[in-house]
Structure 1
Amino acid sequence: MSNTPLRTAHGLTKDPVAADWPALREADVERLLLEYPHLGVLHSLHWHSPRPFSAAGLITTSTGTLFVKRHHQQVRQAAWLEEEHRLLAHLHAQGAPVAAVVSNRHGRTATVQDEWTYEIHRVAAGVDLYRDALSWTPFQSVHHAHAAGRALAQLHNAAAGYQAPARQTPVLVINAKLIEQEDPLAAITAAAQADSALGTYLQDKDWHAQLSNLLLPYHAELLPLLKQQPALWTHNDWHASNLLWSDDSSTAVVSSVLDFGLADRTFALFDLATAIERNAVPWLDLDSGGSAPADLDAVDALLAGYHAVKPLSATELHTLTALLPLVHIDFAVSEIAYFAGVVQSVSSADIAYNAYLIGHLHWFNGAEGQRLLNHLAQVKP
């Protein structure tokens, strides 16, 4: 058996970083498979995911190829993970193209061993064209953007009847709990009081003054619009790297949707705004002094694809424009708490605070951000 391999992961910049979590080992997978006797014995562990918040990889057993993902229990306890799996089961029953989660010999889809929580998925259909793509990197074409918009609207239709309450997991999910509050700064203060690591990190930052200037003007326009949004379970990480594609090079079709790890109960426009934020703005260019101009053609294609399945009204487009500068706020705060508390990396927490939470707000107040928002304001239903 091999020793634990060195593992790098996607970081918060363009450069790979040492992974926060050790790579899967063959011995780990062999022990895990004892809880899944119907999957057979391990033949190989042949790919390690570069995603940062867990350890994952592809394995081949005597029954086929599978995807294994391992979380630390501080990040995902079994009950927290199975919230995600119940959403997947609903979507699968509605015909959505999502990977099936495999149950263990006890009928559970999350398996706890030592300090870890594991899940095993069947391999989804399609070609992984964006396997090595970082978040905040663009679509390869406007055809992909259009197809991604269609697929997102179709996923929202499939999720429409799912009525589970919001997730109870306290870390690394994306939602709008802070920005939906009448006073989002008071909500952040409460979050810092409830999470000692977040509170300790923020205590010497001038975050309240910064967010008062950068966040509150957008929030004043957004808040009454948020109160009109019907709740929906949403993906919340709609990036091209979480989609698999048809192997027919003459068409752009999403074959499967991956990675619902950040899913929660929000609303459809929140998911759509997240898709724009994650795919249409090359945020990582800011690290090298660039201006990160948004790809307006990709924005238009994404919206056109979505609109073809779920037409967007003028009011919804206005809400989308008002929401976009703030759609990252809740997850940025969650990332700061994760880096400061769970993995205890002040340097990563600093990037999440300065470049993500504050930096994105500064961008929206600058020329390129205003260019994007003005463009969206001109889009007609």
Structure 2
Amino acid sequence: MENAGDHDAPGQFGLWKKHAERDWPALTEQEIASVLAPASPDSAATGDRHPSPSCDKTAPFWHSERPFSAAALIVRQGAPDVIVKRHHHGLRSRETLQTEHALIRHLHGRGLPVALPLALANGEDVTCEDPWVYEAFPRLSGRDLYRDRMSWDPYFSVAQARAAGQALARYHDAATGFEAPDRADTPLVSALAPLLGTQPESALRRWVAAQPALEGALDRHDPHGRWLAALAPHLHRAAQKPDSFPSLWGHGDWHGSNLIWPDEIAGGGTDAAPHPDADIVAPCPFDFGMADRTTRPFDIAVALERSMFGWLSPEAGSYRVEWEQIDAFLSGYDRLWPLSGRLCKAIATMLPLAHVTFACSEIWYYDTLLGREDDARTALEDYLIAHAAWFSSPDGRAACDHIARWEARSQKAHRQDAPPGKGRFAG
């Protein structure tokens, strides 16, 4: 944790380690005070937004080290703690944040305990001051257990992986019924739309061509199109089994550091856990910046890709697989939404493609928006290409097969454990 008011402290999580400098300058007391200034009576929050907090103290208590935006925690005496986030307009507009806020309000209305956006000084839940776009949220109760961990780190325990899986099933249930167009043209979201249909390679090419800056970056850093060659077998497999599952709005970035953990499952990082078929106190999600219209199998694949492989510590060209955590995550999800064999096969098919659109956006982000060509090449080589290539290796195919067969293995295990005459969902 940084010292209160230490706005210029360097350091932010990057692709594989902590960067010496932040992508974006840290929030200052002056801009926070401007964003959170008390609203006038005629601009107070209405409907289901939280009222604007008072701003008698605006010194940041802590600055987030997550990339892509600047965020700070404001702790005040006699008032709720607040998280303020600032985005560059090249990444998020008023309209894109309002879509995220509408999703959050929908989730809240369906009973998910998410943090509703705050009304700001302008009486709205988004305020813009070129080139910045601001939003704020009350601090959720619970523990930000993975705050100082890289996004691709595994869960601390099998029990927490199971809880995260059950929480994602609850999220998907709450997201059902939310209607908004996909936002595959928005940078840095986990977009499924460019990978759908019977010709996903052609659809992906069209998606890239519609973004001239991204297309130019890929051509400069990879003139021979190795990225498409690495993806070709996975795109071909997806074409044989097009994702025909109902659409819903997924979270798009489900991992430990985007969840607030209740004390019941946060303490000690141990594997102490109730029976896999028992309901548990689930963590609560936040940070919906990568959310998009998707499907259950793709959003589950994204969640597995984010946390179940040792991407940050490759060993002799391969990566550690968290086999137990994969099974625990799927069993947690299955507790609330049974995972059919067809759904498990779809998750396995989409897993090697779960990172593709986001990785492409990262290449654009570093190459064009930040002008950091070395990081753009890292995103291309070590993220987009290397991950896709690994899923074509024996170890990668074994991981996909393990997931594809999870339902069959689970059925067998339940039959062995069940008393005579009782099946998986009995009594």
Q: What are the ranges of 5 or more consecutive residues in structure 1 without an aligned counterpart?
A: none
Aligned length: 380
Matched, 1:8 2:11: yes
Looking at structure 1, the residues matched to 16 and 69 of structure 2 have their Cα atoms a distance apart, in angstroms, of: 18
2:69 aligned partner, one-letter code: S
Looking at structure 2, the residues matched to 114 and 23 of structure 1 have their Cα atoms a distance apart, in angstroms, of: 16
Counterpart position of 2:289: 261
Q: CA deviation at 1:80?
A: 1.1
Counterpart position of 2:209: 193
Counterpart position of 2:60: 45
Counterpart position of 2:414: none
Counterpart position of 2:308: 280
Looking at structure 1, the residues matched to 24 and 390 of structure 2 have their Cα atoms a distance apart, in angstroms, of: 32
> Greater shift after overlay, 210-219 or 67-76?
210-219
Q: What are the ranges of 5 or more consecutive residues in structure 2 without an aligned counterpart?
A: 41-51, 274-279, 409-427
Looking at structure 2, the residues matched to 300 and 218 of structure 1 have their Cα atoms a distance apart, in angstroms, of: 23
Looking at structure 2, the residues matched to 255 and 370 of structure 1 have their Cα atoms a distance apart, in angstroms, of: 31
Counterpart position of 1:56: 71
Q: Which has the larger radius of gyration?
A: 2
Looking at structure 1, the residues matched to 121 and 64 of structure 2 have their Cα atoms a distance apart, in angstroms, of: 26
Looking at structure 2, the residues matched to 219 and 185 of structure 1 have their Cα atoms a distance apart, in angstroms, of: 6
Matched, 1:159 2:175: yes
> Greater shift after overlay, 110-119 or 136-145?
110-119
**SS, match of residue 312 in structure 2:** helix
Q: CA deviation at 1:341?
A: 1.6
Q: CA deviation at 1:378?
A: 2.8
- Which residue of 374, 377, 387 corresponds with 1:347? 374
Matched, 1:138 2:141: no
The correspondence of residues 118-267 of structure 1 with structure 2, limited to 5 A, is 118-167=134-183, 170-206=186-222, 209-248=225-264, 249=267, 253-267=281-295
**SS, match of residue 380 in structure 1:** helix
Matched, 1:370 2:386: no
**SS, match of residue 71 in structure 2:** strand
The correspondence of residues 9-28 of structure 1 with structure 2, limited to 5 A, is 9-28=12-31
Looking at structure 2, the residues matched to 222 and 46 of structure 1 have their Cα atoms a distance apart, in angstroms, of: 46
Cα deviation per residue 1:150-184 (whole Å; 9 max; x = unaligned)?
00001100011112222376211111122215444
Counterpart position of 1:30: 33
2:134 aligned partner, one-letter code: Y
The answer to whether the 8 A contact 1:78-1:117 is kept is yes
Q: 1:356 to 1:42 in 2, by over 3 A?
A: farther
Cα deviation per residue 1:321-348 (whole Å; 9 max; x = unaligned)?
1111111111111111122221121111
2:72 aligned partner, one-letter code: G
The answer to whether the 8 A contact 1:293-1:368 is kept is no
> TM-score, normalization: structure 1?
0.93
Counterpart position of 1:101: 117
Counterpart position of 1:313: 340
Looking at structure 2, the residues matched to 295 and 198 of structure 1 have their Cα atoms a distance apart, in angstroms, of: 33
Matched, 1:358 2:398: no
Looking at structure 2, the residues matched to 139 and 270 of structure 1 have their Cα atoms a distance apart, in angstroms, of: 20
Cα deviation per residue 1:63-103 (whole Å; 9 max; x = unaligned)?
22100000011111111111100000000111112111112
The answer to whether the 8 A contact 1:99-1:123 is kept is yes
2:347 aligned partner, one-letter code: L
Looking at structure 2, the residues matched to 93 and 160 of structure 1 have their Cα atoms a distance apart, in angstroms, of: 11
**SS, match of residue 18 in structure 1:** coil
Looking at structure 2, the residues matched to 148 and 295 of structure 1 have their Cα atoms a distance apart, in angstroms, of: 14
Looking at structure 2, the residues matched to 25 and 337 of structure 1 have their Cα atoms a distance apart, in angstroms, of: 27
Looking at structure 1, the residues matched to 375 and 117 of structure 2 have their Cα atoms a distance apart, in angstroms, of: 31
**SS, match of residue 201 in structure 1:** helix
Looking at structure 1, the residues matched to 287 and 183 of structure 2 have their Cα atoms a distance apart, in angstroms, of: 16
Looking at structure 2, the residues matched to 244 and 56 of structure 1 have their Cα atoms a distance apart, in angstroms, of: 16
Looking at structure 2, the residues matched to 274 and 168 of structure 1 have their Cα atoms a distance apart, in angstroms, of: 15
The answer to whether the 8 A contact 2:11-2:18 is kept is no
Counterpart position of 2:406: 379
Looking at structure 2, the residues matched to 115 and 316 of structure 1 have their Cα atoms a distance apart, in angstroms, of: 43
> Greater shift after overlay, 46-55 or 72-81?
72-81
2:213 aligned partner, one-letter code: A
2:394 aligned partner, one-letter code: A
Looking at structure 2, the residues matched to 21 and 212 of structure 1 have their Cα atoms a distance apart, in angstroms, of: 31
1:58 aligned partner, one-letter code: L
Looking at structure 2, the residues matched to 50 and 289 of structure 1 have their Cα atoms a distance apart, in angstroms, of: 30
- Which residue of 358, 365, 370 corresponds with 1:331? 358
Looking at structure 1, the residues matched to 184 and 203 of structure 2 have their Cα atoms a distance apart, in angstroms, of: 17
Looking at structure 1, the residues matched to 185 and 123 of structure 2 have their Cα atoms a distance apart, in angstroms, of: 21
1:90 aligned partner, one-letter code: H
Looking at structure 1, the residues matched to 90 and 290 of structure 2 have their Cα atoms a distance apart, in angstroms, of: 15
Looking at structure 2, the residues matched to 337 and 177 of structure 1 have their Cα atoms a distance apart, in angstroms, of: 18
Q: CA deviation at 1:34?
A: 2.3
> Greater shift after overlay, 193-202 or 121-130?
193-202
**SS, match of residue 136 in structure 1:** coil
> Greater shift after overlay, 16-25 or 148-157?
16-25
RMSD, aligned CA: 2.2
The answer to whether the 8 A contact 1:126-1:244 is kept is yes
Looking at structure 2, the residues matched to 373 and 187 of structure 1 have their Cα atoms a distance apart, in angstroms, of: 23
Looking at structure 2, the residues matched to 305 and 342 of structure 1 have their Cα atoms a distance apart, in angstroms, of: 39
Q: CA deviation at 1:60?
A: 2.4
